[in-house]
Amino acid sequence: MSDERVVTVPIGPQHPALKEPESFMVDLRGEKIDAVRMRFGYNHRGIEKGCEQRSYTQDLYLVERVCGICSYAHSTAFVQAVEEIAGLELPRRAVYIRTIIAELERVHSHLLWLGVAGHEIGFDTLLMYTWRDREQVMILLARLTGNRVNYGMNTLGGVRRDIAPEMIPEILKVVDSLEERVKYYINLATSEQTVIQRLSGVGKLTREDALSLGTVGPTARASGVDRDTRRDDPYLAYRDVSFKVITDTHCDVYGRTVVRLGELLESFSIVRQLIKNIPDGPIAIKAPRRIPEGEAVSRYEAPRGEDVHYVRGNGSEKPERVKVRAPTLANTQSVSKMLEDGYLADLPIVIAAIDPCFSCTDRMVSLRENDGNEGRTMSWEEVSRYGVEWHKARGIDFSRVRIPGGAGA
C-alpha cells in the first residue's frame, strides 16, 4: 500500500473502541491521520423538551439521567438553578452532604476513566485493577444513597437521605484505601515505560488552542489553563474547604492522566475536610410546588469539566425552558485539533482522553432557511409511512417486514 493513498476508515457509529454511538471518519495516509470528520447526534433523547412537560420534582430524576456517570453533576446543577429562582436557603448539612456525594462521584468517574484509558492503549490489566478499586466507592455510594449511579439523592430544598453517623468511618475507610491505590497508579503511570510511550506526546493541545476552542475541565487544566469552577465560582460547600487546582503543562494525554490522578488525591482530601466539619441540623427544607417566574444559570465542575444548566420558570409547576450544556460539548471541538498529524493507533486514546460522554452532549439544533417555511408536524403514522417510503426509494425490500400499525407495507 503506497503511503500516498488516502484510505478512509470509519470509526463508528458502531465500533469496539466506542462505548456510545458516534461517528469518526478518519482519512489515513499509511498509519498517519490526514483528517477527521466527526458526526454526533445518534443519541438525541429530547431530555430538554421532556423537562418542559414535567414538574420540577420529576425533572430532577429526568435530568439525573442525562449522564450515566456524572449523573449527580447534572441533577445538582439543575436543582441549584431551581433553588436560586425560588430563593431557597439550604440547610448547611444538606449542602455538605451534596458536596460529599459530588466528590465521591468524581472519584468513581476518574477511576472509571483511568480504566478506559488503560483499555484504549491495550493495557487491560490497568482496566481490571482500577475497576476493581472503583467498586469500593460504588458500593459506598450505594450504601449512602441507595443506588450505584443515578443516586436520586437530591430534592428541591435539600437531600433525601442523611449520612448516618455510623457511615462516617466507612467513608473514611474507603477514602484511605483508595488514596493508597491512587498513589500506586500515579507511580505506575509515571514509571511504566509502555504506558508513558503511549501517552506522552499524544494528542497535543497547546494552551492557546485550549483557550480558543473553549475546552473545560481536566482537558483544559492539562494544557495549563488554570480554571476550576469549584474555586472560581464556589458553589455547594467548596468555599469551606481548601484544595489545590491541579494543572499540568504537558498538554498531552499524559498530562490529562496526571491531572485526573492528582484531582483524585484532592477529592480525598476534600471529603475528609467535609466529614470533619459537617454541621448538624435538618437535611431539607420544604420547597414550594410552584416555582416563581425567573431564570438562573448554574455552573458545576463535573468530573469531565464545567457543566452548565439554564432554567427558566414561569410561575407554574413546570419549567418553561431547561438547557443543559454538558462538558463534552465544550471539549469535542478540541479533538480534531488533537488528532492532527497523529497515528490511527492513538485515535482511541485521544478521543477517550477528553473523557467524552456523547449521549449527554447530543442536542437537536435545527437550522432553517429563512424562507417562511416553518416545517410541519407529522403524526406517528405519517412518520412511519415516511420512513418506509424513504427506505423503499433506496431499494430496501419491505415485502417480508411487518410494521406495527400497518403503515407502508
| CA 344 centroid distance within chain | 25
| Sheet hosting strand 6-11, strand order edge to edge | 6-11, 23-29, 32-39
Q: Pick between residue 122 and residue 282 the one whose CB is nearest to another protein.
A: 122
Cβ-proximal residues to 63 (8 Å cutoff; 6+ apart), any chain: 47, 51, 74, 75, 78, 309, 322, 324
Q: Pick between residue 201 and residue 408 the one whose CB is nearest to another protein.
A: 201
Q: Pick between residue 1 and residue 367 the one whose CB is nearest to another protein.
A: 1
118 touches another protein (CB under 8 A) = yes
22 touches another protein (CB under 8 A) = no
How far is the C-alpha of 358 from the C-alpha of 360, rounded, in Å?
5
Nearest to 18 by CA among 32, 38, 33: 38
Number of residues that bind another protein (CB under 8 A): 34
Rounded to a whole number of angstroms, the minimum distance from the CB of residue 128 to another protein is: 4
Q: Pick between residue 10 and residue 214 the one whose CB is nearest to another protein.
A: 10
Among 346, 358, 359, 363, binds another protein (CB under 8 A): 346
Rounded to a whole number of angstroms, the minimum distance from the CB of residue 146 to another protein is: 28
List % helix, strand, coil for the chain (3-state, nearest 5).
50, 15, 40
Nearest to 305 by CA among 214, 398, 196, 404: 214
How far is the C-alpha of 38 from the C-alpha of 27, rounded, in Å?
12
Q: E strands of 42-188, at which residues?
A: 154-155, 158-159
**Cα torsion angle, 60, 65, 68, 74, sign:** negative
Q: Which stretch binds another protein (CB under 8 A): 10-18, 168-176, 354-362, 395-403?
A: 10-18
Q: Which stretch binds another protein (CB under 8 A): 60-68, 145-153, 189-197, 251-259?
A: 189-197
How far is the C-alpha of 171 from the C-alpha of 100, rounded, in Å?
10
Rounded to a whole number of angstroms, the minimum distance from the CB of residue 177 to another protein is: 15
Q: Which stretch binds another protein (CB under 8 A): 118-126, 276-284, 317-325, 366-374?
A: 118-126
Q: Which stretch binds another protein (CB under 8 A): 44-52, 187-195, 210-218, 225-233?
A: 187-195
204 touches another protein (CB under 8 A) = no
Interface contacts to another protein, rule CB under 8 A: 1, 7-11, 15-17, 28, 31, 118-126, 128-129, 132, 192, 194-195, 197-198, 343-348
